[in-house]
Structures are given as C-alpha cells and as structure tokens.
Amino acid sequence: MKKKSYGKWLIAFTVILPTFIEIMDTSVVNVSLPHIQGSLSAGVDEVTWVLTSYLVSNAVIIPITGWLSSIFGRKRYLLFSIFLFTLSSIMCGSATSLAMLVIARIFQGIGGGGLQPLSQAILLENFPKEEHGMAMAVFGVGVVFAPILGPVLGGWITDNWTWRWVFYINVPIGILSIVMTYFIIFDPPYIKKILKKIDYWGLTFLALGLGTLQVVLDKGEREDWFNSDFIVILLTISVISLILFVFIELHTDTPVVDLRVFKDGTFTMGNIIMFFVFFTLFGSIVMLPLYLQKLMGYTAFWAGLVLGPGGIASMLIMPVAGALMKRGVKPNRILAVGIAITAYSIYLMSGFNLYADFISIAIPRIIMGFGLGLFFVPLAAATYVNIPKEKMGNATSIFNLLRNLGGSFGVAFSTTILAQRMQYHQSVLVEHINPFSKTFQYYFPKLKYLFSDFNITFYETSKTLKLFYLEVQRQSAMLSYNDVFWIMSVLTILMLPLTFFMKVKNGGGEKNIPIH
C-alpha cells in the first residue's frame, strides 16, 4: 500500500480515540463493583481484584512499550494493543465467573498499557516542536477528561442497563480505532522491526517488581500495612526486584527500558514533578467522590456530575495553554501557575462540611480543572524537549509509568491518612460524650424523648446513644477528609519551587535549553 500523508489533526484524533477509552476504563468500572459483586457472588475483597488485575498488568506493559515497538514495529504493536483491548472487553462483558472476569481484565490491561505512550510518541513526532504544547493540550483533554467521564457514564450504564455494558461500549470504538489506525498511521523510517536480544532478566524483575508493588499499594491499607506479613513479603520482593532491574538495565546493551534517558536534566525534572503532583492530585480526586457518596448521600451518578465541570474547565483551558506556549511563553511559568491553582483548589476542599451544597462542592473542582489544564500541557512539552525522536517511545513510556505510579502512591497515602485521622478524631470527640458534659446533659433527654413511644427505657437509651455515636462517626469522618485535603494542598504547593529549575527559553521551539 502506498503511504499517504495525512493531516496531523486526523492523526491526533486517530491515536487519542483508543487512548481515551483505555484511560476511561480505569475509572468506569469503579461504580459497577457492587453490581459485579452481586452478579458473580463475590466477596468485597475478591471483587477488588477486578481493578487490581487491570492496574498490575497495565503497569508492567507501560515501561516496555518503546522496546516492544522497536521489535514488532510501532504500527503493528498499536494495532495489536487495540485489538487485544477490544477482544478482552468482550470477554469481560461475557464473563460468567469472577475468575474469568479477572483473567479478561489482565489481558485488557496488557492491551491498554501500550496505548498511552504510543499515542503520545506519535503525536509529538507528527507535530513540529514549536507546536508540542498544542499537541499535548489535545492529548491532555483525553487524559484528564476520560477518568472524569468514567464514573458518570459507568453509573448511568449500570443503573439503566447492566454492568456488562460498561465493557461492551468499548467494542464499536475499538473497531473504529483499528480501521483508522490501519489506514492512517505509518511507522517513521527510524522505527525498524529489529530482532533484538531479549532482556529476559530485565523483563522478569520489572514485571515482578511492579506487579508486587501495585498489589502492595492496592491492599496495604486493608491489610494494615507493615503489620501484615503478606504486605512485608510483597514489598521486600518488590524493592529487591526493582533494584536488580535498575542494575541490569544500566549494564546491558539491549535494555528493555533505557534508563539512560534520565541523563537529560529536563526529562528527569519533568518526571519528578509529574510523579509528585499526580501523587497529590489522584489522592484528592479519589477522596472527593468518597466524601460525596459516604457522607453527603450522593449517588454514583451525581458524584460523577460533580467531577464533570472540572473536566470541561480543563478542556477549555488546555488549548489556551498550548497557544500561549506557541507564542513564546515559557512552559515553566505556565506550569507554576497551574500548580498554584491546583493547590488552591485542593485547599478549598479542606473547608467542606456536612451542609455543603452542590455548587459549593463543584466550584473547587472547576478551579482544579483550570489548574490541571495549565499543568499537564507545559510539563509534557518541556519534559520531552531534548529527547530525540528515535527515543521518544521509550521516554513516553517512562513518563506515563511514573504518572501512574504517582497516582497509585497518592491513593494509598490518602486512604491511609483518612483511616488514621478518623480514629484520632473519633477518640477526641467521644471524650465529650459522657454524663458530665453539659452539652450531653442538654441534648440526651431531648433525643431520648423522640423514642418515648416505645415505652421501653433500655431501648430508648440505647437508641439515643447509637444516634450520638453515628453523629460522632460522621463528624470525625468529615474532619478526616478535611485533613487529607489540607495535607494534599500543602504537598502540591511544595512542588512549585521545582518549576524554577526548568530553564526553558521559550514555549516549546527548537531553541529550548535543558535544566542547568
């Protein structure tokens, strides 16, 4: 077939489409877990493997995407990834047991893992360097909006159809993506299908290290972290495996992940900022729907609607960020503004209470959306400024891996802090629930009177005390969410000074210079 020259925007749409559904799939299943649990007769601990299995396989594939592309050819590997993701989506939807669903999700994670770095690499290659900011703005719309749309769409589909259609909706989009990729995407001359010596040890330690690490992050809080032998053993395996992986990759001629790319200071700084900001970002985003559903009584669908306006704000501001960079505004300045706005939005969330209305909760999320739009675009454009095109696939794989790991660490950290602070606040609040407290003496008889129709003194007393205890739990939970949001806002603003180490000359053109 003769290769045709397609417009960069058509290429952009082609590669973003499958990436969008892959990213959305990381969150669309969350609201369906109770339905899956009942349908497949699974326990709470068992059904969470529907999420964990996908994340583990996804994390293992992301960093080796560039290596796989060099062996099989990028277009061929992209087609295979989309095909496997689509086929496994059918398997997920038709699963008749939890084991079948978990296995299908593993294959879905393998297929979806390569889509993000492949799409990003293709985008950066087809846009000139002075338009990298705009390219990342387009890519960022999908990255930011997809996980926001996921809970809304997943909740609506589950409520109106069945949880199986959460997976089936991937099929038509996957087929369209395969057709468009086949006819529109072509490998550049420097992408050659080369039969390299396979780095078996590197692959083994990478898969073992990341796989066990993801399980530790997912199960740590539930297993009480280091008080669990299971967690300690897995963490030990993970640390040793990753240390051996780094050693092997730095001493082999054919590394599965080329870590030498970190010699570029700009790339290194960009990855550090990405990891820690997504650490705080994902931690806070996970807390928000939990607060809405557990304390405010929101349904999954309405909780998703609170997140939605923030995604729209990101979509509006990202092209503006790209245009500013194209006009010569330094990416690190835009990035600093984005981090500051994001930190401020999380700080506003620390002021939530049990009487907040929909608008009061949505406004900080909208502000966060603007901050994200000014964060992702300049960071991605500046990070890759000194990376040669032939190494772009490897670089984007590492960048996306650290972003995902930052999110996983952030979720584990925030849930742990939430649980610990709830215990603390509850222990403080219950000290005031005693017969000697004037407040207790005033309200206890009034509440007890509400149950006087039963004429059973013990029942009246126990019911009243239970009401007090439930309120203590609600208040302690609210205070704990406030604490988590406050901590995340502080950690986010601490990333602000790092942006001044990114010495870029303009908004993404050829004259950008690395960090000094």
Q: Identify whether 173 is part of a domain.
A: yes
Tell me the average pLDDT of the chain: 80
Q: Identify whether 429 is part of a domain.
A: yes
Q: What is the pLDDT of residues 355-384, one digit of tens each?
A: 989 999 999 989 998 998 888 888 887 888
Angle at 486 between CA 483 and CA 489, to 5 degrees: 150
Q: Which residue has the tokens 């005693």?
A: 434
Mean pLDDT of all residues in 234-238:
92
Q: Which of 355, 360, 362 is nearest to 296 (CA)?
A: 355
240 and 266 both lie in a single domain: no
311 and 296 both lie in a single domain: yes
Q: What is the pLDDT of residues 128-170, one digit of tens each?
A: 777 776 777 777 766 666 766 776 777 777 777 888 888 898 8
192 and 203 both lie in a single domain: no
234 and 174 both lie in a single domain: no
pLDDT at 489 > cutoff 90: yes
**For residue 507, what pLDDT band results from cuts at 50, 70 and 90?**
very low
Is the distance from CB of 267 to CB of 384 less than 8 angstroms? yes
137-146, 228-237, 307-316: range with lowest mean pLDDT: 137-146
The reported pLDDT for the residue numbered 147 is 67
Q: Identify whether 415 is part of a domain.
A: no
Highest-pLDDT range among 10-14, 145-149, 315-319, 356-360: 356-360
89 and 174 both lie in a single domain: yes
pLDDT at 514 > cutoff 50: no
pLDDT at 62 > cutoff 90: no
pLDDT at 314 > cutoff 90: no
342 and 429 both lie in a single domain: no
Cβ count within 10 A of residue 337: 18
Q: Which of 280, 270, 21 is nearest to 166 (CA)?
A: 21
The reported pLDDT for the residue numbered 478 is 92
Domain boundary among 174, 196, 218: 196
* Cβ density class 112-148: b for 16+ within 10 Å, e for less: bbbbbbbbbbbbbbbbebbbbbbbbbbbbbbbbbbbb
The reported pLDDT for the residue numbered 307 is 74
Q: At what angle do helices 265-294 and 331-349 cross, to 10 degrees?
A: 20
Residue 78 maps to which CATH number? 1.20.1250.20
Q: Identify whether 168 is part of a domain.
A: yes
Q: Identify whether 417 is part of a domain.
A: no
Q: What percent of the chain has pLDDT over 70?
A: 82
Angle at 389 between CA 386 and CA 390, to 5 degrees: 120
pTM recorded for the entire structure: 0.75
Highest-pLDDT range among 405-409, 423-427, 464-468, 481-485: 481-485
Q: Identify whether 270 is part of a domain.
A: yes
The reported pLDDT for the residue numbered 458 is 47
Domain that holds residue 467: 424-478
244 and 164 both lie in a single domain: no
Measured CA to CA, the distance from residue 101 to residue 86 in angstroms comes to 14
Domain boundary among 253, 271, 298: 253
Structure tokens at 434: 């005693």
Angle at 326 between CA 146 and CA 123, to 5 degrees: 45
240 and 164 both lie in a single domain: no
Domain boundary among 196, 215, 235: 196
471 and 372 both lie in a single domain: no
Segment 493-496 long-range contacts (CB within 8 Å, at least 24 positions apart) = 493/339, 493/340, 493/343, 494/276, 495/273, 495/276, 495/277, 495/280, 495/339, 496/336, 496/339, 496/340, 496/343
343 and 433 both lie in a single domain: no
Q: What is the pLDDT of residues 451-482, one digit of tens each?
A: 555 554 544 566 666 677 777 888 899 999 99
Q: What is the pLDDT of residues 164-217, one digit of tens each?
A: 888 898 899 899 999 998 888 887 766 655 555 677 888 888 888 888 887 888
237 and 132 both lie in a single domain: no
Is the distance from CB of 202 to CB of 210 less than 8 angstroms? no
Q: Identify whether 416 is part of a domain.
A: no
The tally of CA atoms less than 13 A away on the side-chain side of residue 229 is: 0
Q: Identify whether 246 is part of a domain.
A: yes
126 and 136 both lie in a single domain: yes
Instruction: Please tell me the total count of domains within the chain.
Output: 4
Q: Which of 44, 58, 32 is nearest to 152 (CA)?
A: 32
